[in-house]
Structure 1
Amino acid sequence: MIRRWTVVVDRDDLTETEVLHDELPESSDLSDCEVLLRVSHVGLTANNVTYGVIGDVIGYWNFFPAGGPCQGVIPLWGFADVVDSTVDALPAGTRVYGYLPMASHLVVRAKLTSAGFVDTSDHRAELPAVYNSYLVTDRDPAYDERLEDLQVLYRPLFLTSFLLADRLVDNDFHGARTVVISSASSKTAFGTAHCLKDKGVRLVGLTSPRNVEFTKSLGLYDTVLPYGASVDVEPSVYLDFSGSADVRSALHDRLGSGLVKDVSIGLTHQAAAQDARSEFFFAPDQLRKRTTDWGSDGLAQRFGEAWRGFTAQAGDRVAVVRHSGPEELVDVWQAVLAGKANPNTADVISF
C-alpha cells in the first residue's frame, strides 16, 4: 500500500518540524462525495509563515488537523491531481488548484460548483469560503499550463494584492494621494504596487537597505527608500506588510495627521487596532463584497485580466528555484521562516 507523508510543525515553535507517515485510504474507505488528491507542487513564501504566526486568530490551523494538540500543518497553495474519487464529475486525472497541506495527499468532501468544488468537510464548515474552494484547471479563465510555477507562487498573494488595491480605489484612497508600502520587495507588496500603478497616486516603497536596488529594479514605485529614511509629510495611506512596530511608530511620528489610514496586512486584529486610523485588511471580506457587487463571473473576469497583466512581467522579476520531497520542503520552510529567502528568487516544491 502507498504511504502518505505530512510535515507538521510545533504550533508554539515553528522551527520544530516532523515528517509523519501513515497509510493512504483505499477506494472502499472513501465516503460519498469524497475525493483523494495527490499534491503535485506548491509555492512557499513568507505568506505561509503568516499562516502559522496568526494560525489561532484566523483559524489557519483548522484547515488540515494534525495528529497532536500542539502540532499543526501549514497551508500552502498549489496544484493537485485526483487519484481516487466517488464523484463522477471529478474522475482520476482531474487537475485542481487550491489550498493544500504540507503533505503528499489530501481527502476532501466535494460539493460541485461551476468552477470546481468546495470542500465541505465538517472541520472546514466555519472557515472562510475562499480557502475551501478548489478550481478545476480546465474551467479556470486565469489558468495557463505554462505558468503553473508563477500561479503557485503568486496567485494567492496577487489575489490579496488585487483586492487590497481594489478596496483603496473603491474608497478613493481615503483622501490620500500617496501610498507608502513597507516590505516593498515582498511579492504581495509589489503585486499591490502593480495594481495601483497609474491609478493617480504616488507609490513609495520602504525596504531594507540590501533590497533597495532590487525594489527599484521592479519599476513599480515612484520612490524607494530604506527603512529609517525620511518620508515626505503629505496625506498618505500606509500599507503595512512588514509588521514592524518600529516602522509603524516612526511613520506615525513623521506623518502625524498626514497619515489618513494605516492598513495592516497579514497581522492580527489586535496589532492593527492601536489607532483610530488603523485597520486590518482581511482579503475574504473584500472578496465577498465584490462577489456581491460583480457576481462570481464578473469577479473572475476582472481578476483574470489583472492576473494576465501581472504574469506577463512577473517571470522577469523573480527566478524560480525548484525543490522536491518533504526534506527539501522542510529546508525551504526553515529558510523562509528565518528570513533568509532572497527577494529575487522564489521557491516551488514538487511532491
Structure 2
Amino acid sequence: MISRWTVVVARDDLTKTEVLHDELPALTDGEALLRVDRVGLTANNVTYGVIADVIGYWRFFPTTAEGRGVIPVWGFADVVESTVDGLPAGTRVYGYLPMASHLVVRPKLTSSGFVDVSEHRADLPAVYNSYLVTTSDPAYDPRLEDLQVLYRPLFLTSFLLADRLADNGFYGARTVVISSASSKTAFGTAQCLHNQGVRLVGLTSPRNVEFTKSLGLYDSVLPYDAAVDVEPAVYLDFSGSADLRATLHDRLGSELVKDISIGLTHQAASADPRSEFFFAPEQLRKRTADWGSDGLAQRFGEAWRGFTARAGDWVGVVGHSGPDELIEVWQAVLQGKTNPNTADVITF
C-alpha cells in the first residue's frame, strides 16, 4: 500500500494545522492516483478556508478528522497509477488539488483532460472538477509552471471579474477602486481593465504603495487612509475590511454605484448587504454559453499570454518543499507576513 500525508486545518481556526499520515486505498476500476508535485499558495487559498462552508470548499477533499478540513490549492500532479484507458501513468495534469501528497480521482476523459466525477464532487462547481492534461493544453509552457500554479487560477478570476464589469458597462461608473491593490488577483484584474476607458485607483497599505505603483497598472495608488475622489465608482473589495468599506460608503455616498467582494485577506466574510459576492463560476458559465468553450479559451488565452509576458518581472518566486514548509508558508499568508513582490511555490 502507498502511504500519503495530508495537511489539515481546524475549520473554526485556520491557524491550527496538523499533518496526517495514512495509507491510500487500492484503486477500483475507473480510478487513477495522482501524485501532487507542485502547487502555489496565496491569499486566494485563505479565501477558500474562510468561505468554505458557504461555497462547499471543504467537500472537495474530505477528511475523516473531526472538525478538520483540507484547503484546496492549484497545481500540477502526475498520474502514478491508473485503471482508466487513455490516462496512463506518467500523464501530467494541472488542476484543483489538496494540501496532500496524493489524490484519488475518478476521471471522465475530455478533449483537454478529464473531469473528476467522484460522487462527493458531483454537485460542486464544474470549474474545480476539471483537470487539464499538459500535452493538450495550448497555454502550457513547461518553463512557466511556477507562474501557472501561482497566477492562472487567480487570473481566471481577474479575467472573469473584469469581463463582468465591462459586460455591464461598469454600472455607469468612471472609476474602479480596488483594495488590496498589491495582491495578485487585484493587479491581475487591473491588468485586464487597463486601457478600457475607466480610471483605476489602487488602495493598499503604506508599505506596499511603492511596489503597487511600480506595476504601472493603476492610474493612482493611495494608502488606505487617503481620500478618494467623489465620482461614480465601482468598488472591488479584495480585502474584506468592514472598516474600509464603511469609510468608502461614507465618502462616496450615492456615487458608489456598485460594491463587489472578491477576496478576504482580512479573513472575515462580509455580511454587509451593500456588498455582493463575486462567484467566478457564474460568469464562467455565462461566457461559456455566450462564446462557447473554444471562444472562451481563445479570449482567456490571449489575456493570459499578455499577463505572463509581464508577471515574471513583477514578482520573484520563492521555492519551498514538503508539508512542514507548506505549513510555514500557510501561516505566513494567514498572518499577512508575505511580501507583495515575492510568491510562494511548494514542491511535494
TM-score, normalisation: structure 2:
0.97
1:171 and 2:131 equivalent?
no
Q: Pick closer, same or farther for the CA change 1:6–1:270 going to 2, 3 Å.
A: closer
1:14 and 2:14 equivalent?
yes
Q: What's the CA shift string for 1:264-296, capped at 9, x where partnerless?
A: 113599726522xx3211000000000101111
Q: Distance in 1 between matches of 2:103 and 2:272?
A: 37
Q: Distance in 1 between matches of 2:226 and 2:30?
A: 56
CA contact (8 A) 1:177 1:236 kept: yes
Q: Distance in 2 between matches of 1:229 and 1:329?
A: 36
Unaligned segments of structure 1, at least 5 residues: none
Identity across the alignment (%): 82
Q: Secondary structure at the match of 2:191?
A: helix
Q: Distance in 1 between matches of 2:113 and 2:305?
A: 21
Q: Distance in 1 between matches of 2:45 and 2:268?
A: 18
How big is the shift at 1:140?
1.0
Q: What's the CA shift string for 1:102-139, capped at 9, x where partnerless?
A: 00000000011111111111111111110011011111
Match of residue 279 from structure 2: 282
1:308 and 2:302 equivalent?
no
Q: Secondary structure at the match of 1:30?
A: coil
1:224 and 2:221 equivalent?
yes
Letter of the 2:253 counterpart: G
CA contact (8 A) 2:5 2:101 kept: yes
1:261 and 2:258 equivalent?
yes
Match of residue 83 from structure 1: 80
CA contact (8 A) 2:51 2:269 kept: no
Q: What's the CA shift string for 1:83-113, capped at 9, x where partnerless?
A: 0001121100100000000000000000111
RMSD value, Cα: 1.3
Q: What's the CA shift string for 1:7-56, capped at 9, x where partnerless?
A: 1111111111111111234xxx2122211000010000011011111110
Unaligned segments of structure 2, at least 5 residues: none
CA contact (8 A) 1:141 1:301 kept: no
Q: Secondary structure at the match of 2:21?
A: strand
1:101 and 2:89 equivalent?
no
Match of residue 111 from structure 1: 108
Q: Distance in 1 between matches of 2:210 and 2:69?
A: 37
Q: Distance in 1 between matches of 2:301 and 2:164?
A: 17
TM-score, normalisation: structure 1:
0.96
1:4 and 2:1 equivalent?
no
Q: Secondary structure at the match of 2:73?
A: strand
Q: What's the CA shift string for 1:179-227, capped at 9, x where partnerless?
A: 0000000000000000000000000000000000000000000000000
Match of residue 247 from structure 1: 244
Q: Following superposition of structure 1 onto structure 2, how do residues 1-351 of structure 1 map, counting pairs within 5 Å? A: 1-25=1-25, 29-266=26-263, 271=270, 273-275=272-274, 278-351=275-348
Moved >3 Å (runs of 4+): 266-270
Q: Distance in 1 between matches of 2:270 and 2:337?
A: 24
| Aligned positions, number | 346
Q: Distance in 2 between matches of 1:271 and 1:61?
A: 19
CA contact (8 A) 1:266 1:281 kept: no
Q: Distance in 2 between matches of 1:348 and 1:273?
A: 34
Q: Distance in 2 between matches of 1:269 and 1:348?
A: 25
Q: Distance in 2 between matches of 1:327 and 1:311?
A: 30
Q: Distance in 2 between matches of 1:250 and 1:11?
A: 31
CA contact (8 A) 1:78 1:97 kept: yes
How big is the shift at 1:2?
3.7
